[in-house]
Amino acid sequence: MTQAPPAIRLEGLGLSHAGSPVFEGLDFTFPAGTFSVLLGPSGVGKTSLLRSVALLDRPTAGHVAADDGVSLAGRVAWMGQQDLLLPWARVIDNVTMGARLRGAPVERDRAEALLRRMGLGDRLAALPSELSGGMRQRVALARTLYEDRPVVLMDEPFSALDSVTRARMQDLAADMLRGRTVVLITHDPLEACRLGQVILLLAGSPARLSSVPAPDGATPRPADDPGVLRGQGHLMRRLLDGVAA
Ligand SMILES: Nc1ncnc2c1ncn2[C@@H]1O[C@H](COP(=O)(O)OP(=O)(O)OP(=O)(O)O)[C@@H](O)[C@H]1O
């Protein structure tokens, strides 16, 4: 990573779809170089918020800005819920596609090393249609990490993975994204407590953000750490109670 990661400020951010407000008046700063995790009930507006941060959706009110005064455009790696792999391109070419499209040099060795760390070293020449859903998700994760951006926004990046692969990918992501400004959406309280340096809940209608204390200790925190298990239970309770408590 060559550029310093900025903090990202939301100022009075609001978004409506078809005239119905999804969220409004959001004021929050995602701290620079910090792994933030966002949870909330299905349909509350998490993806809409992340898309606004990524400048993919135009907010109805307020704005999103980097705290260093430089535009976020070109500094963000995005991993959406759909893997968006190109069906005609082999795994290795999907990972390096961004560089190809930009006309930048392709670092094949770096892409291969990433895929090997994802357990896909023997699938470099496979087409996406020859992969399982979890493998495709790992290719999409490799493509996101390959982009090497100071800001990384990920929408449920591990949702298709079995629990052991998921834990491995969480470890890898925590390691590779350390020091970047990351926002990750998850439905999994354990994932939030393993990875989150900042943990946020989005709830209500229109939705508002609230922050929850993260467990102690460096990330990735062990899944069986007592503080992680307590935090997981607390988050689950908040979600079951409709996040109000
Ligand atoms: N392009 C769109 N046009 C109209 N309504 C939309 C659009 N995108 C999202 N919505 C609506 O906005 C609300 C928030 O959707 P969003 O996808 O942001 O929720 P979410 O919290 O990410 O949900 P999930 O956890 O199920 O992925 C939902 O009511 C959804 O139907």
What CATH code is carried by the domain that includes residue 26?
Answer: 3.40.50.300
Count of the separate structural domains present in the chain:
1
Q: Please check whether residue 46 lies inside any domain of the structure.
A: yes
184 CA → ligand 1 middle, Å: 16
Q: Looking at residue 2, what is its pLDDT?
A: 60
Q: Is the CB of 46 under 6 A from ligand 1?
A: yes
Q: Looking at residue 147, what is its pLDDT?
A: 94
Q: Which residues of 55-64 are buried (b: 16+ CB within 10 A; e: fewer)?
A: eebebbebeb
Q: Please check whether residue 117 lies inside any domain of the structure.
A: no
pTM: predicted TM-score of the whole model, two decimal places: 0.94
- Please count the other Cβ atoms lying within 10 Å of the Cβ belonging to residue 235: 22
* Burial of residue 200, with CB atoms counted within 10 A of its CB: 0-12 exposed, 13-18 middle, 19 or more buried: buried
Q: Is the CB of 238 under 6 A from ligand 1?
A: no
Q: Please check whether residue 156 lies inside any domain of the structure.
A: yes
ipTM, two decimals: 0.96
From 15, 17, 49, 201, give the residue whose CB has the most ligand 1 atoms within 8 Å, as the site to mutate. Answer: 17
From 23, 39, 47, 187, give the residue whose CB has the most ligand 1 atoms within 8 Å, as the site to mutate. Answer: 47
Q: Please check whether residue 154 lies inside any domain of the structure.
A: yes
Q: Please check whether residue 18 lies inside any domain of the structure.
A: yes
46 CA → ligand 1 middle, Å: 8
11, amino acid identity: E
What is the residue with the minimal CA distance to atom 4 of ligand 1?
A: 17
Q: Please check whether residue 110 lies inside any domain of the structure.
A: no
188 vs 223: CA distance, rounded Å: 12
Tokens of residue 189, six digits: 């309280």
223 CA → ligand 1 middle, Å: 30
DSSP string, 46-114: HHHHHHHHTTSS--SEEEEEETTSS--TTSEEEE-SS----TTS-HHHHHTHHHHHHTPPP-HHHHHHH
Owning domain of residue 171: 8-75+149-240
DSSP SS3 for 224 = coil
Q: Is the CB of 18 under 6 A from ligand 1?
A: yes
Q: Please check whether residue 100 lies inside any domain of the structure.
A: no
Q: Is the CB of 43 under 6 A from ligand 1?
A: yes
pLDDT by residue, tens only, the chain of 245 residues: 667 899 999 999 999 998 899 999 999 999 999 999 999 999 999 999 999 999 899 999 999 999 999 999 889 999 988 888 999 999 999 999 988 888 889 999 999 999 999 999 999 999 999 999 989 999 999 999 999 999 999 999 888 889 998 998 899 899 989 999 999 999 999 999 999 999 999 999 999 999 999 999 999 999 999 999 999 999 999 998 875 44
Q: Please check whether residue 135 lies inside any domain of the structure.
A: no
- Please count the other Cβ atoms lying within 10 Å of the Cβ belonging to residue 54: 19
